[in-house]
């Protein structure tokens, strides 16, 4: 009986390894011909099934760091130092031009109040760069975020510049992380090990409400799939090189399991549409693997 059970267990393990080999090969085929350095990290939260390709790639964070900033901000809410209902005065001079900012577009004259809840939604759901820097100023700067993320046991994470300070090509590479580190922080966040239950649910939902990157990871998943994610993209330099394009998040499978997918592309010379499709194809391959097992 023991021999039969052992044989069966070995068979199950072999099926899992074979399946992962197929997924790994498909992902490698997707990225092999792309003119970019690509890092991928995948984890099934419930089964702990993992896969990574270039998982330790040191990649520019870009606007992915708005997730980490939100974590540090909501930690202060948990401690009672901030409130989602509190009003924050937004000065006109804080609404800088020549940057992505729905707040500025809606309130061009500034000098008005937004609640912390509104500011977080503009920053996380809609990637507002001015909102991001106002949040950072409110919580004590990038140092606050760096210390908080490190305290969660995340080592491969660096944040030194806000959005306004990322004005030069070299500055794009200063804030950085890895696909594996991103998957790790997303997992402990989802499990409620970073924030309280209420603030965890709140941040997860405003990530589900993300209006950016519709043709990226989201496009590779079936319509209606629950996806809580954050995107990030840099400009190009004079040589048509894009420093980074990233999409990281958690999507829900039909069986109720949750998949973390962290995708970072670095030093890209492909057209934007090609890069978007690359991320979508990675998401699609991951979805197909976990739904056809």
Candidates 41, 52, 63, 101; catalytic one: 63
Class of domain 2-291 (CATH, top level): alpha beta
How many angstroms separate the CA atoms of 201 and 207, rounded? Answer: 10
Spatial distance between the Cα atoms of 109 and 208, rounded to a whole number of angstroms: 30
Lookup: tokens for 174: 């200063």
Nearest to 275 by CA among 239, 237, 238, 247: 247
Q: Can you tell me which residue has the tokens 């031009």?
A: 97
**DSSP H helices in 121-178:** 129-139, 142-151
| pLDDT 10s digits, 31-42 | 999 999 999 999
Q: Is 101 a catalytic residue?
A: no
**Separation of alpha carbons 248 and 266, rounded Å:** 14
The angle subtended at Cα 132 by Cα 214 and Cα 213, nearest 5°, is 5
Assign 293 a pLDDT band (cuts: 50, 70, 90): low
Q: Over 70: is that where the pLDDT of 17 sits?
A: no
Minimal CA–CA distance to 187: which of 255, 257, 283, 260?
260
pLDDT at 25 over 50: yes
Strand, coil or helix: 41: strand
Reported as a single tens digit per residue, the pLDDT across 67-100 is 999 999 999 999 999 999 999 999 999 999 999 9
The residue with tokens 């997860």 is: 204
For the chain, the domains span 2-291
The average confidence (pLDDT) of the chain is 94
Q: How far apart are CA 259 and CA 229, in angstroms?
A: 11
- Respond yes or no: is residue 238 known to be catalytic: no
Which residue did the predictor score with more confidence, 76 or 1? 76
The pLDDT tens digits of the residues spanning 190-243 come to: 999 999 999 999 999 999 999 999 999 999 999 999 999 999 999 999 999 999
The catalytic residue among 94, 163, 184, 270 is 163
In whole angstroms, what is the distance from residue 293 CA to residue 290 CA? 6
Strands annotated E in the chain? 37-44, 50-53, 59-60, 87-90, 112-115, 157-158, 176-177, 227-233, 242-252, 258-268
pLDDT class of 175 with cuts at 50, 70, 90: very high
The pLDDT score that the predictor gives to residue 283 is 98
Note whether 163 and 128 are within 8 A (CB).
Answer: no
DSSP bridge partners of 251: 227, 259
Nearest Cα neighbor of 148 from 204, 203, 69 is 69
As a whole number of Å, the end-to-end CA separation of the chain is 27
Residue 5 has φ and ψ, to the nearest 5°, of -65, -45
Residue 20's pLDDT band (cuts 50, 70, 90): confident
> What's the predicted TM-score (pTM) here?
0.92
Nearest to residue 172, comparing CAs of 285, 272, 264? 264
Question: 3-state class of 151 per DSSP?
Answer: helix
Residue 228's DSSP bridge partners are: 250
How would residue 13 be classed by pLDDT, with cut points 50, 70 and 90?
very low
């Amino acid at each position: 009986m023991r021999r039969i059970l052992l044989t069966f267990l070995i068979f199950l393990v072999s099926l899992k390894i074979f399946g992962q080999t197929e997924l790994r090969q498909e992902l490698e085929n997707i990225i092999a011909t792309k003119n970019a350095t690509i890092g991928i990290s995948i984890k099934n939260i419930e089964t702990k099934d993992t896969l990574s390709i270039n998982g330790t790639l040191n990649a520019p964070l870009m606007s992915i760091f708005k997730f980490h900033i939100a974590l540090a901000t909501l930690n202060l809410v948990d401690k009672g130092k901030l409130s989602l209902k509190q009003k924050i005065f937004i000065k006109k001079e804080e609404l800088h031009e020549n940057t992505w900012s729905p707040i500025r577009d809606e309130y061009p004259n500034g000098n008005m109040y937004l609640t912390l809840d509104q500011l977080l939604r503009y920053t996380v759901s809609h990637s507002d760069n001015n909102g991001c820097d106002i949040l950072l100023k409110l919580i004590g700067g990038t140092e606050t975020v760096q210390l908080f993320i490190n305290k969660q046991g995340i080592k491969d994470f660096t944040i030194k510049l806000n959005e306004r300070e990322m004005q030069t090509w070299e500055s794009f590479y200063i804030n950085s992380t890895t696909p594996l580190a991103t998957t790790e922080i997303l997992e402990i966040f989802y499990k409620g090990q970073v924030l309280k239950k209420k603030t965890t649910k709140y941040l997860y939902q405003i990530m589900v409400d993300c209006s950016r990157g519709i043709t990226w990871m989201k496009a590779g998943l079936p319509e209606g799939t629950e996806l809580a994610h954050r995107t990030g993209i840099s400009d190009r330099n004079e040589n048509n090189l894009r420093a980074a394009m990233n999409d990281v998040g958690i999507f829900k499978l039909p069986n109720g399991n949750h998949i973390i997918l962290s995708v970072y592309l670095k030093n890209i010379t492909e057209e934007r549409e090609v890069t978007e499709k690359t991320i979508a194809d990675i998401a699609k391959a991951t979805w197909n693997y976990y739904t056809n097992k």
